[in-house]
Structure 1
Amino acid sequence: MQSHEADIRNRIAALVKAVIEQNSLTAEVAPDAKLVDIGLTSMDMVNLMLSVEAEFDFTIPQDEITPENFQSVETLQRMVARQLQPTAA
């Protein structure tokens, strides 16, 4: 289970790095680093949201699109993991 969470975190970190590189920025992407502090703008956040949806093949529910969920790689990882959990019937 831990490796699944690490996989999600690594994939999200790669998406964040791609957004940063598109802006010609260089920054260390620590799991708990605030995304706005490393240079992501509101438009970058929209691009990141779309990238996360494409990477993990699901649509982020409207109520999950919150500043809290998009604070860091760590908060994004938790939100994605919740969405990927099988729903109990």
Structure 2
Amino acid sequence: MQAINEIQGRLLALVKSILKQNAIAVELAPATLLVDVGLTSMDMVNLMLAVEAEFDFTIPQSEITPENFMSVETLNRLVLRHLASTVAA
């Protein structure tokens, strides 16, 4: 399984690319709340699609919750859960 830090790094890069598209330059830590740095609901949809493409899985409707998209940390947990379940299957 991929290292947690590698996954977190890929997630940080995805968020930063969306922020860059919006001309938002901020320091981003894994615990930073994404709404606090300026991500809109449309950005969150783009982020969800980017995460699905980057890690090659579909996020179930039941998991598309504000809690899972609060920060890179919460996204990291979501991705790790899904990667673990695909390895186990």
Distance 2:56 2:7 in 1: 13
Q: How far does residue 28 in structure 1 lie from its aligned partner after superposition?
A: 1.0
CA RMSD of aligned residues (A): 1.2
**Counterpart residue number, 2:45:** 46
Structure 1 stretches lacking a partner, 5+ long? none
Structure 2 stretches lacking a partner, 5+ long? none
Distance 1:4 1:56 in 2: 13
Q: What secondary structure, in the 3-state scheme, does the structure 2 residue paired with 1:69 have? A: helix
Give me the TM-score of the superposition, normalised by structure 1: 0.93
Alignment of 1:23-62 (within 5 A): 23-62=22-61
Q: How far does residue 5 in structure 1 lie from its aligned partner after superposition?
A: 0.6
| Structure 1 stretches of 4+ moved >6 Å | none
Give 1 or 2: higher helix fraction: 2
- The superposition leaves residues 11-58 of structure 1 with CA deviations (integer Å, 9 ceiling, x where unpaired) of 000000000000011011100000000010000000000000000011
Give me the TM-score of the superposition, normalised by structure 2: 0.93
Percent identical residues: 63
Report the AA paired with residue 37 of structure 2. I
**Counterpart residue number, 1:77:** 76
- What number of residue pairs does the alignment pair up? 87
**Counterpart residue number, 1:17:** 16
**Counterpart residue number, 1:87:** 88
